[in-house]
Structure 1
């Protein structure tokens, strides 16, 4: 894949993982706003790049820290997304790359690698595409059910798909 270049000024670079098990279920994390635990959502494992690590290194590290899963086949970048959202009293601007990965390993909620994760994540769950399509809960990225259905039906795209910017 050709590198799309550096993120814009002030953008946090984040590697996210679309982790599939042998039954094609996707692993999501359940999070909440620390100031208001009633505001919840589901999201993919992943997080910000540290130092000079690569996107792939960050994807592997974040997945291991957040789920305990280290035995993966890391595939291509599926999607690119820019998002903007308030969380824990600050505003976040992110440049995200979503990697496909597969595993046969069972996750274990590690409690999170950071203090913020321990204050804002309650656990993990495998979701089928049908469950995502029927979900009434908030899931990020917002079109994940549709994107997952396309991925499972057609396989990974030849080049990463640029998703619409999400702003909250």
Structure 2
């Protein structure tokens, strides 16, 4: 099983609302199903979790921050990507507070 280290971002505004992305794959095996996820993604070669969090925040949310905030959680989970490939993800969650 492929290992997938990744950084996830809990982007929270002043009203304690959390940013989630809604997506609905168009191809099997999850075609038509609706998923919700925090911004974030896998580490690139040579990248650490904090660096990946900064990069993903810019790529997916459009925010460029030097400090993404504290790492507040970690989990290891097995799941299928939208491609159907099953991975074991080592996820680190960073708290990003925005206006």
The bucket for the TM-score relative to the shorter chain is 0.7 to 0.9
Structure 1 partner of 2:42: 48
For these two proteins, the number of residue pairs brought into alignment is 96
- Structure 1 vs Structure 2 CA RMSD: 1.9
Q: TM-score scaled by structure 1? A: 0.52
CA contact (8 A) 2:6 2:91 kept: yes
Return structure 1 stretches of 4+ with deviation > 4 angstroms: none
| CA positional deviation for 1:72 | 7.2
* Structure with the bigger percentage of helix: 1
| Unpaired runs of at least 5, structure 1 | 1-8, 105-168
Partner SS for 2:92: strand
| CA positional deviation for 1:67 | 1.5
- 1:74 pairs, out of 68, 73, 94, with 68
- 2:97 pairs, out of 89, 102, 105, with 102
Comparing both chains, which one has the higher relative contact order based on Cα–Cα distances under 8 Å and sequence gaps of 6 or more? 2
Give the structure with higher Rg (CA): 1
Partner SS for 1:99: strand
Q: For 1:58 and 1:82, how far apart are their aligned partners in 2?
A: 17
| Unpaired runs of at least 5, structure 2 | none
Partner SS for 1:95: strand
